Amino acid sequence: MVNQIFDVLRNEIIGLQLAPGSDVSRSALAARFGVSQTPIREALLRLEQQGLVDVFPQSGTMISLIDTRQARQAQFLRVAVEAEVAETISQNPTAYDLSEAEAILAEMWRIWRGTNDPRAIRPPDQSFHAALCEAVGHGELWELVVARSGNVDRMRSINIFPGKAEKILAEHAELLEALNAGDAARARAAVRLHLSGTLRAVDDMRAAYPHYFLS
Amino acid at 37: Q
Strand segments (E) across 17-128: 23-24, 53-56, 60-63
What is the percent of the chain where pLDDT is above 70?
A: 100
On the question of pLDDT at 149 being above 90, the answer is yes
The answer to whether the CB of 214 falls within 8 A of the CB of 65 is yes
User: Average of pLDDT values for 125-142?
Assistant: 96
The answer to whether the CB of 21 falls within 8 A of the CB of 65 is yes
Distance (Å) of CA 212 to CA 79, 82, 104, 172, 205:
25, 28, 32, 29, 9
Structural domains in the chain, CATH included, are 2-63 (1.10.10.10), 68-212 (1.20.120.530)
Say what the pTM is: 0.91
Chain center to CA of 141: 14
The answer to whether the CB of 179 falls within 8 A of the CB of 93 is yes
Summarised one tens digit per residue, pLDDT across range 24-63 is 999 999 999 999 999 999 999 999 999 999 998 878 899 9
What per-residue confidence (pLDDT) applies to 59? Answer: 80
What per-residue confidence (pLDDT) applies to 56? Answer: 87
User: Average of pLDDT values for 128-148?
Assistant: 96
- Across the strands, what pairs with 62? 23, 54
Assign 215 a pLDDT band (cuts: 50, 70, 90). Answer: confident
Summarised one tens digit per residue, pLDDT across range 190-205 is 999 999 989 999 999 9
User: Average of pLDDT values for 158-180?
Assistant: 96
Exposure string for 153-180, b = 16+ CB within 10 A, e = fewer: bbbbbbbeeeeebeebbebbebbbebbb
What per-residue confidence (pLDDT) applies to 102? Answer: 98
